[in-house]
């Protein structure tokens, strides 16, 4: 298991008011690309989330057996176990949590075969740190202190359904 904890006590990149928004929300970031995994974990930790990271779906499965999370941010295309395969395993085990799937291309065929998979949002690569934060806040129902909802980034989808998955 190669999960790595990124503590919000590490050098934060967010402002103090941003860090106070999510003091107890835990996020597991899963990506086989070390640079993307590091950037995502640092971005989220800097905004006050408690973040763990795993290098692929198999490692994430091990971590999910040991810890409770509010959100799973997972890449789709990874060695050992894809993001969708990880979600299938979670569903079979009765583990329910919010999910943001990140990919260069959304796995529409796999998602059509499993419409009951609960993916709360998708984010298409490439994306910015601000887009990642906006999606995480929307999925976790957190606003930036302003009344109303945050505006999703342009390449964001909420609760993909079969009719929305046509590319």
In the predicted model, what is the mean pLDDT of residues 129-146? 81
The whole-angstrom distance between residue 54's C-alpha and the CA centroid of its chain comes to: 12
In the predicted model, what is the mean pLDDT of residues 125-135? 95
pLDDT number for residue 85: 92
Model confidence at 111, pLDDT cuts 50, 70, 90, reads confident
Q: Is the peptide bond before 126 cis (omega within 30 degrees of 0)?
A: yes
Q: Considering only CA atoms, which of 43, 30, 35 is closest in space to residue 3? A: 30
On the question of pLDDT at 51 being above 50, the answer is yes
What are the residues whose beta carbons fall under 8 Å from the beta carbon of 45, sequence distance 6 or more? 6, 7, 8, 10, 12, 51
Q: Considering only CA atoms, which of 21, 37, 108 is closest in space to residue 75? A: 37
Q: Considering only CA atoms, which of 3, 11, 58 is closest in space to residue 27? A: 3
- What is d(CA 19, CA 142) in angstroms, rounded to the nearest whole number? 12
Question: Which strand (E) or helix (H) includes residue 124?
Answer: strand 121-124
- What is d(CA 49, CA 60) in angstroms, rounded to the nearest whole number? 18
Tokens read off for 129: 């740190």
pLDDT number for residue 19: 42
pTM: predicted TM-score of the whole model, two decimal places: 0.73
pLDDT number for residue 117: 82
CA separation (Å) from 148 to 2, 13, 70, 124, 141?
Answer: 39, 24, 22, 25, 10
Compare 8 and 77 and report the one with higher pLDDT: 77
Structural domains in the chain, CATH included, are 4-164 (3.40.50.2300)
């Amino acid at each position: 298991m190669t999960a790595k904890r990124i503590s919000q006590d590490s050098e934060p990149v967010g402002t103090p008011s941003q860090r106070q928004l999510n003091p107890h929300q835990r996020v597991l970031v899963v990506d086989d690309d070390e640079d993307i995994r590091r950037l995502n974990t640092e971005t989220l930790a800097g905004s006050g989330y408690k973040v763990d990271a795993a290098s692929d779906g198999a490692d994430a499965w091990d971590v999910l057996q040991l810890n409770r999370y509010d959100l799973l941010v997972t890449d789709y295309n990874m060695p050992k176990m894809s993001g969708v395969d990880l979600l299938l395993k979670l569903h079979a085990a009765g583990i329910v949590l919010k999910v943001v799937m990140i990919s260069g291309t959304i796995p529409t065929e796999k998602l059509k075969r499993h419409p009951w998979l609960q993916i709360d949002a998708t984010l298409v690569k490439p994306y910015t740190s601000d887009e990642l934060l906006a999606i995480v806040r929307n999925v976790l129902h957190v606003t930036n202190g302003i009344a109303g909802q945050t505006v999703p980034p342009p390449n964001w989808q909420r609760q993909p359904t079969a009719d929305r998955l046509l590319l």
